[in-house]
């Protein structure tokens, strides 16, 4: 394929603005596949093709960036190859966006026709402008009854202006689309009219017209070989597969190359096979030229960020800068009485090996060994794992849990920095859209968490909804979503994104309620829960197995209490008529993985196993907890 008939396009947007749905429509309407062929691959909440992971389909979000290629026959009669890169929209997976933008020559910025630019829109657009990529704005969901296309275009323009975009970027083309219905147009007058298009040809033509082909500076055929590895996959048959874009020269199967790592060290290796992307798969080809995206088999060791170069002139490409993590958690071996009953991989060595494997592909993740032997750790190894947010680390834990790993994790904590001798914390931009009647509840929640109001106004075209923007410490966001959804009856929409670091603003309130701790191990009995009915809400139901020291419920007061939830009615000849039928058991509150991580305090752990997610005290014995409490009190009085 000639370079001027090649386009490399990344599709970027805020979460739920329709990137993946749009990518699917480009696949359907490329003419490269039969509809039935793609229908077999679709699945998940939104019946999407590009979201292939189990967690992606369950949650309805994109977690990892993926690329595919479509061949398009344009209106001028020429054939083009378009490499499409689908990126995540959630702020916690921003590292995926950062690492793949290097492969693109332009971006499709997808914006919801009602919501407009959101926090993650700003983040991904800032990264795209940093790579000097030209945006083509796609106003998606234009068929919504409350769509406000003109206002959204003005908001995108203001956003570009605030990011100091170039004049070329400010003069962006606009395509109006409904990815769900499968049509697009560059003429707003056709939206809802009799001559409204029925396909996305206008979007294909916009890509060819406005996204530049690879330039000589970025794709010089006469230059020595240079390829930047931006993604890795694995095959049981051929091992590691390096994916990236070629910036100079050509790449052939059987070619000798030099792989230069991040430390600048080079190793001589031989390429076994070269694959070009075609549709949703790969096709082995004799060679790939500069400007194209390819997959390479036979290179090991190799990592994301490495350069594959010519052995005679091994010049490394600049590394992709990835923003630092903002949140960390302590991973440790599971030491509960149920340890080893459900998981296949339970030792610290197995957990560390899995974390090291994750570091090869998850560029925004950090992991290091920590000093072991903390209270409740059982004296085993501990690992400090850092990520972009609670969902980023939660997805890692959920993936490990499904793979058969068993471990315990501590409370998430924000990563502090010392700048000019002062301790700084990450500050995030929080955007909340809620009904006007819920405004007071939202303000009360965020003000307690040291938030500052930036903007507040009625949301255009949204009836009685109010649009609010705040700056809030990242530690104030932990547990906020659940409380806000409860306070607004699930009607609030909130998003956040890292903004900057500022000096610590002050204390953030902790969990208001205490917990109910099991005093015995055994099976939960309805008789015991009936007797404890007024004590609070339980996280377990009759028939569940619990152990001493496990957190089994939330106390109605602010102190922790010990309770025996395994107590059964004594077997005697004395019976009260109808008393067994009158047993009252409050419905259990289901606590998922991320909800548990938000809930726990410093003296608690979340036990993560393939079969269950449980909360427990670090010290399982009540006598040990009292001893630690006395020691802490003595230290406080001594001012240590």
Residue-wise pLDDT tens digits, 414-446:
999 999 889 999 999 999 988 889 999 999 999
Q: What is the pLDDT of residue 577?
A: 57
- The tokens for 198 are 């029925």
Burial class (CB in 10 A: 0-12, 13-18, 19+), 349: exposed
User: How far is residue 441's CA from residue 381's CA, in Å, rounded to a whole number?
Assistant: 43
Assess whether the region 324-409+511-640 and the region 417-503 belong to the same CATH fold: yes
Q: What is the pLDDT of residue 461?
A: 64
Mean pLDDT of 550-573: 90
Classify domain 324-409+511-640 at the CATH class level: alpha beta
User: How far is residue 45's CA from residue 52's CA, in Å, rounded to a whole number?
Assistant: 12
Residue 372 has pLDDT above 60, yes or no: no
640: confidence class by pLDDT, cuts 50, 70, 90: low
Of residues 506 and 2, more confidently modeled: 506
Residue 275 has pLDDT above 50, yes or no: yes
User: How far is residue 372's CA from residue 382's CA, in Å, rounded to a whole number?
Assistant: 5
Residue 176 has pLDDT above 60, yes or no: yes
Q: Give pLDDT tens digits for 21-33.
A: 999 999 898 888 8
Q: Give pLDDT tens digits for 468-490.
A: 999 999 999 988 888 898 888 88
Q: What is the pLDDT of residue 121?
A: 87
Q: What are phi and psi of 637, to 5 degrees?
A: -65, -30
Burial class (CB in 10 A: 0-12, 13-18, 19+), 509: exposed
Q: What is the pLDDT of residue 548?
A: 94
Residue 580 has pLDDT above 80, yes or no: no
* DSSP letter, residue 542: T
Residue 376 has pLDDT above 60, yes or no: no
- The overall pTM is greater than 0.85: yes
Of residues 640 and 584, more confidently modeled: 584
For the beta carbon of residue 196, count every other beta carbon within 10 angstroms. Answer: 16
Residue 379 has pLDDT above 50, yes or no: no
* DSSP letter, residue 103: G
378: confidence class by pLDDT, cuts 50, 70, 90: very low
Q: What is the pLDDT of residue 545?
A: 94
Residue 404 has pLDDT above 60, yes or no: yes
16: confidence class by pLDDT, cuts 50, 70, 90: confident
Q: What is the pLDDT of residue 288?
A: 92
Exposure string for 12-44, b = 16+ CB within 10 A, e = fewer = bbbbbbbbbbbbbbbbbbbebbeeeebeeeeeb
Q: What is the domain partition of the chain in residue ranges?
A: 3-210, 226-309, 324-409+511-640, 417-503
Mean pLDDT of 277-281: 88
Q: Give pLDDT tens digits for 202-243.
A: 999 999 999 998 876 677 788 899 999 988 887 778 888 999
The angle subtended at Cα 243 by Cα 24 and Cα 289, nearest 5°, is 95
Q: What is the pLDDT of residue 102?
A: 86
CATH architecture for segment(s) 417-503: 2-Layer Sandwich (3.30)
User: How far is residue 357's CA from residue 559's CA, in Å, rounded to a whole number?
Assistant: 41
CATH code for 226-309?
A: 2.40.30.10
Q: What is the pLDDT of residue 40?
A: 86
399: confidence class by pLDDT, cuts 50, 70, 90: very high
Q: Which fold has domain 3-210?
A: Rossmann fold (3.40.50)
579: confidence class by pLDDT, cuts 50, 70, 90: low
Percent of the residues in the chain that have a pLDDT greater than 90, as a whole number = 49
Residue 136 has pLDDT above 50, yes or no: yes
574: confidence class by pLDDT, cuts 50, 70, 90: low
Q: Give pLDDT tens digits for 328-343.
A: 999 999 999 999 999 9
Averaged pLDDT score across all residues of the chain: 88
Residue 255 has pLDDT above 70, yes or no: yes
Of residues 380 and 574, more confidently modeled: 574
Question: Hey, what's the torsion of the CAs at 385, 388, 393, 396, to 10 degrees?
Answer: -100
């Amino acid at each position: 394929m000639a370079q001027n008939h090649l386009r490399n396009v990344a599709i970027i947007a805020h979460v739920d603005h329709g990137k993946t749905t749009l990518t699917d429509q480009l696949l359907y309407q490329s003419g490269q596949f039969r509809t039935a062929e793609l229908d077999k691959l679709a699945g998940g909440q939104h019946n999407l093709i590009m979201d292939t992971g189990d967690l992606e389909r369950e949650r309805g979000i994109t977690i990892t960036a993926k690329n595919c290629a479509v061949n398009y026959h344009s209106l001028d009669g020429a054939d083009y190859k378009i490499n499409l890169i689908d990126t995540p929209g959630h702020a916690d997976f921003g590292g995926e966006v950062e690492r793949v933008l290097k492969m693109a020559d332009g971006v499709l910025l997808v914006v919801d026709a009602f919501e407009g630019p959101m926090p993650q829109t700003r983040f991904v657009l800032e990264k795209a402008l940093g790579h000097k990529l030209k945006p083509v704005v796609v106003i998606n969901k234009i068929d919504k009854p409350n769509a406000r296309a003109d206002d959204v275009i003005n908001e995108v323009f203001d956003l570009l202006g605030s990011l100091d975009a170039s004049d070329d970027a400010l003069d962006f083309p606009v395509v109006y689309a409904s990815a769900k219905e499968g049509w697009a147009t560059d003429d707003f007058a056709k939206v809802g009219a009799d001559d409204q298009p029925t396909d996305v040809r206008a979007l294909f033509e916009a890509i060819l017209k406005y996204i530049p082909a690879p330039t000589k500076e970025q794709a010089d055929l006469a230059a020595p070989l240079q390829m930047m590895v931006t993604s890795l996959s694995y095959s049981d048959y051929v091992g590691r597969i390096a994916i990236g874009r070629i910036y100079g020269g050509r790449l052939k199967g059987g070619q000798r190359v030099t792989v230069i790592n991040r430390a600048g060290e080079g190793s001589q290796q031989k390429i076994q096979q070269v694959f070009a992307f075609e549709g949703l798969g790969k096709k082995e080809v004799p060679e790939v030229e500069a400007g194209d995206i390819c997959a390479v088999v036979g290179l090991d060791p190799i990592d994301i960020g490495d350069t594959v170069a010519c052995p005679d002139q091994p010049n490394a490409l600049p590394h992709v800068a990835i923003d630092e993590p903002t949140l960390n958690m302590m991973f440790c071996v599971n030491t509960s009485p149920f340890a080893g009953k459900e998981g296949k991989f339970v030792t610290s060595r197995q957990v560390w090996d899995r974390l090291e494997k994750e570091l090869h592909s998850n560029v925004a993740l950090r992991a290091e060994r920590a000093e072991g032997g903390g209270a409740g750790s059982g004296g085993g190894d501990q690992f400090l794992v850092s990520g972009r947010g609670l969902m980023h680390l939660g997805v890692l834990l959920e993936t490990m849990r499904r793979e058969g790993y068993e471990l315990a994790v501590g409370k998430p904590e924000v990563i502090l920095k010392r700048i000019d001798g002062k301790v700084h914390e990450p500050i995030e931009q929080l955007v909340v859209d809620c009904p006007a009647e819920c405004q007071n509840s939202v303000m009360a929640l965020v003000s307690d968490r040291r938030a500052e109001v930036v903007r507040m106004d009625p949301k255009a075209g949204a009836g009685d909804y109010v649009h609010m923007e705040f700056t809030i410490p990242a530690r104030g966001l932990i547990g906020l979503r659940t409380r806000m959804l409860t306070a607004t009856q699930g009607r609030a929409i909130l998003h956040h994104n890292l903004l900057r670091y500022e000096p610590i603003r002050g204390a953030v309130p902790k969990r208001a309620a205490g917990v109910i701790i099991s005093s015995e191990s055994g099976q939960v009995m309805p008789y015991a829960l009936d007797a404890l009915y007024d004590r609070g809400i339980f996280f377990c139901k009759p028939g569940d197995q619990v152990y001493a020291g496990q957190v089994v419920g939330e106390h109605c007061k602010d102190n922790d209490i010990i309770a025996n939830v395994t107590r059964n009615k004594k077997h005697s000849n004395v019976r009260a008529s109808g008393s067994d039928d009158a047993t009252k058991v409050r419905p259990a509150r289901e606590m998922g993985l991320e909800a548990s991580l938000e809930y726990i305090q410093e003296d608690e752990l979340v036990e993560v196993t393939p079969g269950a997610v449980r909360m427990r005290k670090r010290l399982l014995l009540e006598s040990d907890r009292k001893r630690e409490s006395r020691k802490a009190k003595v230290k406080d009085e001594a001012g240590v």
